[in-house]
Amino acid sequence: MFAAADVHYRPAGGARAALVAASDVTFATIVAEKTADVAGVAAYEAGAFWRRELPCLRAVLDGVDGLELLVVDGYVDLDPAGRPGLGAHAHAEFGVTVIGVAKTRFATASHAIPVLRAGATRPLYVTAAGLPAREAADLVTSMAGRFRLPDALRRVDALARGHPSSS
C-alpha cells in the first residue's frame, strides 16, 4: 500500500490528520481514506516542525498495515548534511520509504530536487528516505493529476481541512 498524509491545524487548537491510500505508486486510484482528530498538538517550532506533525501522523497511521511508501507534505531532511525533518523522523518511526513533497523552498534544503508538474512555473521540492532522491522526484512527476500538486496530495489536504467531498 502507498499512502499520502497531511495535517491541518485548527485555529481553536488541535489538528486533523488525513491519509489517502492507493494500491499503485502513482496514486491513480485512491482505495482508502482516513482521518484522525488530535486534541493537543505542540506549538510550531521553526526547524522542528516534526515535533508538531509526527504525533498527528502516528494517529492517522494507527491500524494501517502493509504500508510501503508514505508521501508527506514537507521535507525529509532540511539540509545536504542530513539534518532530519519530518520525513526522516517518519522514516525512522514507521520503517517505510518516505517522500517529502514541499510546496515552498526551505533556505537550507539546497539538496531538494525541484519538480515542475503540469506546466507549473513554481516547483515542488522533493526529498526522500529509503530511495534515491532522483527516483522520488521522478515518482512525484509521474503521480496522477493535472495540476502542480499531485491529486493524492490535493485530496489529503482537503480531507485534513475537513472538506470530505472536495477533490
Domains detected in the chain: 2-160 (3.30.2170.10)
Prediction pTM value: 0.93
What mean pLDDT do residues 48-58 have?
86
Confidence of residue 167 (pLDDT cuts 50, 70, 90): very low
- Can you name the residues that pair with 113 across neighbouring β-strands? 126
C-alpha distance from residue 33 to each of 3, 5, 116 (Å): 9, 10, 27
Core vs surface per residue 146-159: b (16+ CB within 10 A) or e: eebbbbbbbbbbbb
For the cut 90, the answer to whether the pLDDT of residue 19 exceeds it is yes
94-141 pLDDT, tens digit per residue, is 999 999 999 999 999 999 999 999 889 999 999 999 999 999 999 999
Residue type, 140: V
CA distance 80 to 104: 17
Helices vs strands, H then E, count in the chain: 4, 7
For the cut 60, the answer to whether the pLDDT of residue 166 exceeds it is no
**What is residue 100's predicted lDDT score, i.e. its pLDDT?**
97
61-82 pLDDT, tens digit per residue, is 999 999 999 999 999 999 999 9
**What is residue 30's predicted lDDT score, i.e. its pLDDT?**
95
CA distance 4 to 157: 10
**What is residue 112's predicted lDDT score, i.e. its pLDDT?**
97
CA distance 144 to 21: 13
